[in-house]
Amino acid sequence: MERPERAATALGAQPRANGCSGATHGGLRNGYVRGLPAPDAQINHIVHNGGLYKRPFNEAFEETPMLVAVLTYVGYGVLTLFGYLRDFMRQWKIEKCQNAIEREEQKDFVPLYQDFENFYTRNLYMRIRDTWNRPICSVPGAKVDMMERVSHDYNWTFTYTGRVIKGVINMGSYNYLGFAQNDGTCQKAAAKVLSQYGAGVCSSRQEMGNLDKHEELEKLVARFLGVESAMAYGMGFATNSMNIPALVGKGCLILSDELNHASLVLGARLSGAAIRIFKHNNMQSLEKLLKDAIVHGQPRTRRPWKKILILVEGIYSMEGSIVRLPEVIALKKKYKSYLYLDEAHSIGALGPTGRGVVEYFGLNPEDVDVMMGTFTKSFGAAGGYIGGKKELIDYLRTHSHSAVYATSLSPPVVEQIITSMKCIMGEDGTTFGESLQSALVLTSKLQLPSKMGAFGREMLKRNIGVVVVGFPATPIIESRARFCLSAAHTKEMLDTALKEINEVGDLLQLKYSRHRLVPLLDRPFDETTYEETED
Amino acid sequence: MDIKSTKNYLYWLFCQFELITCSYLMEPWEKVLFYTFNTTVLAMVAYTAYIFFPVHISTAFQFSPCPQHSSSVYRVTAQLCSHPH
């Protein structure tokens, strides 16, 4: 636990007047201006932040109209009533009970299925279950083949008709840069490695599972990110949940964003550190928490915290917002805490050369203590990585649960990552990297529970596959539809998709926005990823 | 054709009602139950309004600005309470 501290203090050892190092390009003397505006003014303007942002950073999120919120509650109220009715009927054996219940002998024990989540699952999720877990039977590229299935008992069981719905436009896969293919340079390289190394590694990293491919990958990732060293893991979720406990423990403080991913939340809880939540992307809230932590220390003993770790993500996939990284880094330096940046969605997608949100804001990768990311989204593979100082990564190699116990990455997957990363960096001789189209993740608020199911079904009828998200991934009254555009989509596909979405939006009355035109951000389309909540 | 577009519009309105009250998600027997309940309640409300509306309006107009004898108040309330319903 000592090494990362030493590494980080070595980094921030040069004291500056305002506590920041002017480490941005062009020698811009930026810093955290002390007289920050009042908490009620969420100012994004460049002037007030003392030049932290190189260009205007505007994010416009519209509030939901009151009528829609009321109607959402009406819908949920009706469903709750019917849920109670159905539960009553199941209890009194009027209706066949198809969900899991306790056995007769366990009836007097603590009840297992009485909480709200199980009630929700039985009575709402089951009704619209056919819009999720749809089996696909081809590579998840721009178009995908889906297996058709029907249910004769209202989604409790499914049977396959045997038919395959071909050519469904795929708006649900995280195939941002189009690397999910079954032919091409990546596939050929992966096939070659497969014939050389096989598919399984049969060991964990620390035992016999450390291949030369893994070393090559880690060197490449470190070079890609601009950090000293990196380590790759087999699963992106496990990278977060298994490494945060290795970095912090009891007596440390974690400041986590409201809308952090489940893997970060799980990792934070597993570590045993104290967790405090700050409002989503709200720097005043974060600063207040930092001040309180420094001034008051640990709750009862008033001792100073051993470590303060700020957990943020590069892009929040549900909300569609980008983290205010310059401000977070300025705060981190002022209060001498550490930053853990999860770039699952932003690596490969943001920044002029795809190096992520750090490059997007033009900051120094050394400012972020722990840079984490996944290979699932932009690289078309699986797994995650952590990058940072050499001492930190060496520490993680011995102390991370994932390194000690989990099987290492499969060689063909490693080769896929290596090839795609080289492609993005432009080192394989093609100009693919320069002509990178951006990735876009758009979320559209559906709100009403029935519209979730209706939207998914209507879109599939029109041969477009989308992902709808509801509770518990989002707050219960805010269900959304998420569209992931990728570089593999052609203009015709996007036009078709837009036309169908427009049609379904009119049909289901999804156009809640009061603006005539959706307020576009003032960044060019093909340079960055941006998010907006529309319709 | 005007009839067709009106029918389409009414069907679309019915679909919106289904979506808002989540009867789109219900099984057929649940829908029957729900609609029966709703129509019964609406019918009762309509009937009550039909019966009581004229009496309430006339009562409201009786209490005009010029002062009334107190017995008339009793007369009117007796009228309301004893109304055969």
**Distance in angstroms (rounded) separating the CA atoms of residues A222 and A521:** 32
A500 pLDDT higher than 80: yes
pLDDT higher at A479 or A432: A479
Residue A147 has pLDDT above 60, yes or no: yes
- Residue type at A227? V
Alpha-carbon distance A294 to A303, whole Å? 10
Look at residue A528 in the predicted model and tell me its pLDDT: 34
Determine the length of chain B. Answer: 85
Q: How confident is the model at residue B72 (pLDDT cuts 50, 70, 90)?
A: low
Chain A positions touching chain B (beta carbons under 8 Å): 71, 74-76, 78-79, 82, 124, 127-128, 154, 448-451, 453-454, 507-509
Average pLDDT, integer, range A238-246: 94
The residues pairing with A312 across neighbouring beta strands, listed in sequence order, are: A341
Cα Rg for chain B, rounded, in angstroms? 22
Task: Give the model's pLDDT for residue A20.
Answer: 39
**Measured between alpha carbons, how far is A220 from A407 in angstroms, rounded to an integer?**
21
Q: In what order do the strands lie in the sheet with A464-465?
A: A143-150, A159-170, A464-465
Among A127, A156, A452, A512, most B C-beta atoms within 10 A, so best to mutate, is A127
Residue showing tokens 């909540």: A533
CA distance A508 to chain B (A): 7
* Residue A428 pLDDT exceeds 90: no
pLDDT at A345 over 80: yes
Nearest to B22 among A154, A449, A507 (CB): A449
- Give residue-wise pLDDT tens across range A21-68: 334 333 333 333 333 444 443 434 334 445 667 666 666 566 778 888
Which of A453, A507, A509 comes nearest B25 by C-beta?
A: A453
CA–CA dist B53, A101 (Å, integer): 52
Strand order in the sheet with A308-313: A229-233, A384-388, A370-374, A338-342, A308-313, A253-257, A274-278
Banded model confidence at residue A81, pLDDT cuts 50, 70, 90: very high
Supply the pLDDT for residue B62.
85
Task: Tell me whether residues B34 and A82 touch, CB distance under 8 A.
Answer: yes
Tell me, rounded to whole angstroms, the distance of Cα A412 from its chain centroid.
24
pLDDT at B3: 85
Section A283-296 average pLDDT: 94
Task: Read off the pLDDT of each residue in A268-280 and give the average, rounded to a whole number.
Answer: 94
A179-183, A350-354, B47-51: which is most confident = B47-51
Query: What are the backbone dihedrals phi and psi of residue A248, each rounded to the nearest 5 degrees, phi first?
Result: -125, 160
Mean pLDDT check: name the lowest of A53-57, A117-121, A256-260, A313-317. A53-57
Residue A276 predicted with pLDDT over 90: yes
Q: What is the pTM of this model?
A: 0.78
How far is it, in rounded angstroms, from Cα A465 to Cα A467? 7
Question: What percentage of chain A exceeds 70 in pLDDT?
Answer: 82
Q: How many domains does chain B have?
A: 1
Give the number of C-alpha atoms closer than 13 A to the C-alpha of residue A191, restricted to the C-beta side: 8
* Among A60-64, A87-91, A222-226, B23-27, the least confident range: A60-64
Q: Do B25 and A449 touch (CB under 8 A)?
A: yes
More confident residue, A22 or A219: A219
Higher pLDDT, residue B82 or A19: B82
> What is chain B's mean pLDDT, rounded?
82
Q: Indicate if the pLDDT at residue A304 is higher than 90.
A: yes
The tokens for A395 are 């520490």
Band the pLDDT of A526: cuts 50, 70, 90: very low
**Which residues form the domain of B69?**
3-82
How far, in Å, CA of A327 to CA of A312, rounded? Answer: 12
